[in-house]
Structure 1
Amino acid sequence: MTGPSVDLLDRLMIREVIENWAVWRDAGDWERFASLWHPEGRMMATWFQGPADEFIRVSREGFEQGVRILHFLGGSAIEVAGDRAIAQTKMTISQRAPVEGVECDVVCTGRFYDFLERHDARWVIALRQPIYETDRLQTVDPARPAVLDPDLLARFPVGYRHLAYLQHGLGYEVKDDMPGLTGPQVEALYARGAGWLGGEPL
């Protein structure tokens, strides 16, 4: 096959990778989750930055200890250039944990920005960099408000301020310069994505 049919098939295969990532990770299906990554794949998140195999290990440990970081996906925009692709997928990240002694849910809305490569005849993720656009915190019991430290909250970027606050309270070292909806970090990410499609290394 050549032409539009091949391009559509690639896009469908890439979308399947993205959907399987969310389902298998949130379900704790670690063996199949590992199959979605390039051998040198990397994950960037608020609480972790590093190789995919290490991300899988610490995610599994957290899952077994009761940590729940869940994902829900929306639409995707996918650009394919030969054996490389960039996919942007609307998503939400949700996490439940105590915040200042009160059980809370944080929901963060953004995009997964994925660098993908065809490897051994399969599309796999070479790098996943989320873009954090906005978030909110609410208590599980509306009758019990959580009183946040405004100075600590203000330390974190607006796109994931409450998620970072929650994760900081759990003892994570939260990265404080992740890409948001606008700004130099996301512009640099877009430039890196264009370079990837043009053949540049990560």
Structure 2
Amino acid sequence: MTDPLAELLDERRIREVVLRYCRGVDRLDFDLVRSAYHPGGIDHHTGFDGTVDEYVEWVRPLLSGFTGTMHIVGNHLCELRGDQAVAETYGTAVHWGSPESDPRRNFISGFRYVDHMAERDGRWAIVERFAVREWTHSTVGAQLAPEGTGPRGSRDADDPYYVLARRIQER
């Protein structure tokens, strides 16, 4: 008989793997991206198939070519099978960069992450990922300048998240 509370906790831990990956990509924190995979994990992206280490080296210069990205995840369905799981996560990825007239630097895409997850040594992580691109739309001419001063995200240790995390850690 399965323990519903244990299953709920496993599902939450699996969703956190997906969220950690998204934060890593958006903040250019490639150690965080790598932590979402088990060693030797496999990734299948548009234009790429290989190990997590190869993926990080492939995606690093691509992401650095954007001013920013934002991955927003929605529907998440996880089918647990003991210490293995299949997780499907729907999302939208926003990309922006220069020149603003370049549709390859300014677009939104709809995707699904279809992940084989496994728990090893008490840690859930990706064994194999299929990053399925469902659609892409150009946002050329659609981006507006900020409406005023205020906090802005950055793709380094000065991002508000990392600043707060350090502050709390120092207490």
- Please list the CA deviations of residues 57-86 of structure 1 after superposition, one character each: whole Å capped at 9, or x if unmatched: 222233445475542111201100011001
Aligned partner of 1:116 in structure 2 is 117
Question: What is the SS of the residue equivalent to 1:103?
Answer: coil
After superposition, the Cα gap between the structure-2 partners of 1:65 and 1:125, relative to the gap in structure 1 and judged at 3 Å, is same
Aligned partner of 2:155 in structure 1 is none
1:32-51 matches, within 5 Å, as 32-51=32-51
After superposition, the Cα gap between the structure-2 partners of 1:65 and 1:127, relative to the gap in structure 1 and judged at 3 Å, is same
Contact 1:107 1:136 in 2 (8 A): yes
Question: What is the SS of the residue equivalent to 1:118?
Answer: strand
Contact 1:106 1:136 in 2 (8 A): yes
After superposition, the Cα gap between the structure-2 partners of 1:80 and 1:141, relative to the gap in structure 1 and judged at 3 Å, is closer
Aligned partner of 1:88 in structure 2 is 88
Contact 1:96 1:103 in 2 (8 A): no
Greater CA drift, 36-45 or 126-135: 126-135
How far apart in 2 are the matches of 1:130 and 1:66? 19
After superposition, the Cα gap between the structure-2 partners of 1:24 and 1:48, relative to the gap in structure 1 and judged at 3 Å, is same
After superposition, the Cα gap between the structure-2 partners of 1:55 and 1:71, relative to the gap in structure 1 and judged at 3 Å, is same
Aligned partner of 1:139 in structure 2 is 140
Contact 1:115 1:127 in 2 (8 A): yes
Unaligned runs of 5+ in 1: 143-202
Unaligned runs of 5+ in 2: 144-171
Q: How many residues align?
A: 140
Contact 1:43 1:51 in 2 (8 A): yes
How far apart in 1 are the matches of 2:15 and 2:44? 19
Contact 1:117 1:124 in 2 (8 A): yes
How far apart in 1 are the matches of 2:82 and 2:127? 15
Equivalent residue letter for 2:34 = A
Question: What is the SS of the residue equivalent to 1:92?
Answer: strand
Shift of 1:34: 1.4
Question: What is the SS of the residue equivalent to 2:135?
Answer: strand
Under a length normalisation based on structure 2, what TM-score does the superposition of the two structures give?
A: 0.72
- Please list the CA deviations of residues 154-185 of structure 1 after superposition, one character each: whole Å capped at 9, or x if unmatched: xxxxxxxxxxxxxxxxxxxxxxxxxxxxxxxx
Shift of 1:121: 1.2
Under a length normalisation based on structure 1, what TM-score does the superposition of the two structures give?
A: 0.61
Aligned partner of 2:102 in structure 1 is 103
How far apart in 2 are the matches of 1:78 and 1:114? 9
Contact 2:45 2:132 in 1 (8 A): no
1:60-75 matches, within 5 Å, as 60-66=60-66, 68-75=68-75
